Amino acid sequence: MPVINFDSSASSGVHAKHERRKDARPGELLDAALELFVEKGYAATRVEEVAKLAGVSKGTLFLYFASKEELFKAVVRENISGRFQEWNTEFENFQGNSADLLRYCMTAWWQRIGSTKASGITKLMMSEARNFPELAVFFEHEVIRPGKVLMTRVLQRGIDRGEFRAIDMTYGAYILLAPMVFLAMWKHSLGACCDAGSQLVPEDYIALQVETILNGLSIRQTPPPLL
Partner DNA sequence: CATGAATGAGCTTTCATTCAT
Partner DNA sequence: GATGAATGAAAGCTCATTCAT
By the rule CB under 7 A, 217 interacts with DNA: no
Torsion of CA 120, 70, 20, 11, to 10 degrees: -120
Closest CB to a copy of itself among residues 28, 110: 110
Alpha-carbon distance values, 18 to 3, 57, 125, 181 (Å): 15, 11, 35, 42
Site string for DNA, 29-58 (x = CB under 7 A): ----------------xxxx-------xxx
Q: What is the Cα–Cα distance from 94 to 13, expressed in whole angstroms? A: 62
Decide whether 54 or 184 has the Cβ nearer to DNA: 54
Distances (CA, A) of 165 to 28, 55, 97, 98, 224: 47, 54, 14, 12, 14
Q: Which range of residues in 14-22, 166-174, 196-204, 219-227 is near DNA by CB under 7 A?
A: 14-22
Pick between residue 15 and residue 145 the one whose CB is nearest to DNA.
15
List 6, 7, 8, 59, residue binding DNA (CB under 7 A): 59
HSE-CB of 85 using CA atoms within 13 angstroms = 4
| Phi and psi angles of residue 68, each rounded to the nearest 5 degrees, phi first | -55, -40
Does position 131 bind DNA by CB under 7 A? no
Identify the DSSP state of 225. P
Least distance to DNA from the beta carbon of 223, Å?
A: 49
Pick from 39, 41, 53, 69: which binds DNA (CB under 7 A)?
69
Size of the site for DNA (CB under 7 A): 27
Q: Which residues bind DNA (CB under 7 A)?
A: 3, 11-12, 14-20, 22, 25, 45-48, 56-60, 62-63, 66-69
